[in-house]
Amino acid sequence: MPPVIHAASEKLRSAIDPGAKTSESVPWHPHPGKITYTSAQSVSQMQEDVRQVITRWRDQGISAIAILAPSADFLNRWALRLGQTGFELQILQGQESYGGGLVLTTLDVVRGLEFDGVVLLDANETAYPGTPSGARALYTALTRSKKYVHLIVLLDEADQSPSPWLKQIISK
């Protein structure tokens, strides 16, 4: 795991269990890793953010990309929304196997898989609350990436706010 992503995931682990033994970083990892964050005021702005991130990563030769929705309830909604970005993507559910390229899926499906880039949709308090389970879900999303993580918070509803865990992992 890249050092930047490892450090962020360790912050989550220690927030959940301050007494937990930290895992060792891999200082020789070929990529330092990078975590970026945007907030979108509308679905169309979020779609444009996703399009820009994926285009930038593909221009850098990144092809194994996962767009992660927090749950199956969100998956169908985002499949419709992302269908408008113009990218061909595989929707991965249940026991299906990853066929490479760009995939839209949920956190429970990607356990054990790794991607060069991970886009995390709905990184808000509803999907990733300030509870240990919210931190574990965010930890799972972070640790799926070998190079890049991009977090998007959609603020299109009055009651939406970023997950409180983002303060733990976003470097200032």
Tens-digit pLDDT profile for residues 45-85 = 988 999 999 999 999 999 999 999 888 887 888 888 888 77
The amino acid that residue 57 corresponds to is W
The average confidence (pLDDT) of the chain is: 87
Question: For 118-139, what is each residue's pLDDT tens digit?
Answer: 999 889 998 899 999 999 999 9
Beta bridge partners of 35: 149
Residues 105/93, Cβ–Cβ less than 8 Å: yes
Whole-number pLDDT of residue 24? 66
The architecture of the domain spanning 3-169 is: 3-Layer(aba) Sandwich (3.40)
The span from the first CA to the last CA of the chain, in angstroms, equals 21
Q: Is the pTM of this model over 0.85?
A: yes
Segments making up each domain of the chain, as ranges: 3-169
Residues 37/171, Cβ–Cβ less than 8 Å: no
The amino acid that residue 40 corresponds to is A
Rounded Cα distance, 140 and 142, in Å = 6
> In 10 A of CB 42, how many CB atoms?
11
